[in-house]
Amino acid sequence: MAKLFQVTAHCSIILALCMAAFEVLDWFNPYMNFLGLPISTGLLAVFCLLAVLQAIRLLYCESKLEALRRELGERRKTIPHSKGKKSCKKAKKQQAGKLAPARAGQQGAP
Protein backbone atom coordinates (compact mmCIF):
# COMPACT_ATOMS: atom_id res chain seq x y z
CA MET A 1 0.00 0.00 0.00
CA ALA A 2 2.87 2.36 0.78
CA LYS A 3 4.36 1.66 -2.66
CA LEU A 4 1.05 2.66 -4.27
CA PHE A 5 1.10 6.02 -2.52
CA GLN A 6 4.72 6.58 -3.53
CA VAL A 7 3.67 6.04 -7.14
CA THR A 8 0.73 8.44 -6.76
CA ALA A 9 3.05 11.09 -5.33
CA HIS A 10 5.37 10.76 -8.33
CA CYS A 11 2.41 10.83 -10.74
CA SER A 12 1.12 13.98 -9.07
CA ILE A 13 4.45 15.71 -9.55
CA ILE A 14 4.62 14.66 -13.20
CA LEU A 15 1.05 15.76 -13.90
CA ALA A 16 1.62 19.09 -12.15
CA LEU A 17 4.68 19.73 -14.33
CA CYS A 18 2.70 18.74 -17.46
CA MET A 19 -0.10 21.14 -16.58
CA ALA A 20 2.43 23.92 -15.92
CA ALA A 21 4.05 23.23 -19.30
CA PHE A 22 0.63 23.31 -21.02
CA GLU A 23 -0.11 26.63 -19.34
CA VAL A 24 3.19 28.17 -20.48
CA LEU A 25 2.73 26.83 -24.02
CA ASP A 26 -0.82 28.20 -24.06
CA TRP A 27 0.49 31.65 -23.03
CA PHE A 28 3.05 31.72 -25.84
CA ASN A 29 0.81 30.22 -28.52
CA PRO A 30 -2.89 30.61 -27.67
CA TYR A 31 -3.93 29.40 -31.15
CA MET A 32 -2.71 25.86 -30.36
CA ASN A 33 -5.27 25.72 -27.53
CA PHE A 34 -3.28 23.34 -25.30
CA LEU A 35 -5.64 23.75 -22.33
CA GLY A 36 -8.75 23.23 -24.44
CA LEU A 37 -7.75 19.80 -25.76
CA PRO A 38 -9.53 16.73 -24.37
CA ILE A 39 -6.22 15.14 -23.32
CA SER A 40 -5.26 18.10 -21.14
CA THR A 41 -8.74 18.11 -19.59
CA GLY A 42 -8.35 14.39 -18.80
CA LEU A 43 -4.89 14.93 -17.33
CA LEU A 44 -6.26 17.73 -15.16
CA ALA A 45 -9.05 15.44 -13.90
CA VAL A 46 -6.54 12.70 -13.05
CA PHE A 47 -4.29 15.24 -11.33
CA CYS A 48 -7.20 16.50 -9.22
CA LEU A 49 -8.17 12.94 -8.28
CA LEU A 50 -4.61 12.10 -7.21
CA ALA A 51 -4.40 15.29 -5.16
CA VAL A 52 -7.64 14.42 -3.35
CA LEU A 53 -6.43 10.85 -2.65
CA GLN A 54 -3.15 12.10 -1.24
CA ALA A 55 -4.92 14.66 0.95
CA ILE A 56 -7.24 11.97 2.35
CA ARG A 57 -4.27 9.70 3.02
CA LEU A 58 -2.38 12.51 4.73
CA LEU A 59 -5.29 13.33 7.02
CA TYR A 60 -5.83 9.64 7.84
CA CYS A 61 -2.14 9.03 8.55
CA GLU A 62 -1.84 12.20 10.64
CA SER A 63 -4.68 11.10 12.90
CA LYS A 64 -3.11 7.64 13.28
CA LEU A 65 0.29 9.20 13.96
CA GLU A 66 -1.15 11.55 16.57
CA ALA A 67 -2.83 8.63 18.35
CA LEU A 68 0.46 6.71 18.29
CA ARG A 69 2.35 9.71 19.69
CA ARG A 70 -0.16 10.03 22.53
CA GLU A 71 0.14 6.31 23.30
CA LEU A 72 3.94 6.45 23.29
CA GLY A 73 3.88 9.55 25.47
CA GLU A 74 1.82 7.70 28.07
CA ARG A 75 4.17 4.70 27.94
CA ARG A 76 7.23 6.89 28.38
CA LYS A 77 5.76 8.29 31.58
CA THR A 78 5.42 4.81 33.12
CA ILE A 79 8.65 3.14 31.91
CA PRO A 80 11.91 4.61 33.26
CA HIS A 81 14.41 5.88 30.72
CA SER A 82 17.74 4.11 30.50
CA LYS A 83 20.88 4.16 28.39
CA GLY A 84 20.77 0.70 26.86
CA LYS A 85 19.04 -2.65 26.58
CA LYS A 86 20.71 -4.13 29.65
CA SER A 87 19.98 -1.06 31.75
CA CYS A 88 16.39 -1.07 30.59
CA LYS A 89 15.94 -4.74 31.51
CA LYS A 90 17.58 -4.12 34.86
CA ALA A 91 15.30 -1.16 35.56
CA LYS A 92 12.21 -3.18 34.66
CA LYS A 93 13.30 -6.01 36.98
CA GLN A 94 13.96 -3.54 39.79
CA GLN A 95 10.57 -2.01 39.20
CA ALA A 96 8.98 -5.46 39.41
CA GLY A 97 10.88 -6.21 42.65
CA LYS A 98 12.78 -9.18 41.24
CA LEU A 99 16.21 -7.63 41.66
CA ALA A 100 17.57 -5.70 44.61
CA PRO A 101 18.93 -2.23 43.85
CA ALA A 102 22.68 -2.09 43.22
CA ARG A 103 24.89 -0.89 46.09
CA ALA A 104 26.87 2.31 45.54
CA GLY A 105 30.13 1.14 47.18
CA GLN A 106 30.35 -2.27 45.56
CA GLN A 107 33.96 -3.46 45.10
CA GLY A 108 35.31 -5.92 42.55
CA ALA A 109 36.91 -9.32 43.28
CA PRO A 110 40.48 -9.38 44.76
* pLDDT digits 0-9 by tens, 99-109: 455 555 555 55
Count of Cβ atoms closer than 10 Å to residue 33 Cβ: 10
Q: What are the residues whose beta carbons fall under 8 Å from the beta carbon of 12, sequence distance 6 or more?
A: 47, 50, 51, 54
Q: What are phi and psi of 80, to 5 degrees?
A: -70, 145
Please tell me the predicted confidence (pLDDT) of residue 99: 47
pLDDT tens per residue, range 39-80: 989 999 999 999 999 999 888 888 888 888 888 877 766 665
35: pLDDT strictly greater than 80: yes
For residue 95, the surrounding DSSP H or E stretch is helix 85-96
pTM here is 0.56
Q: What are phi and psi of 54, to 5 degrees?
A: -70, -35
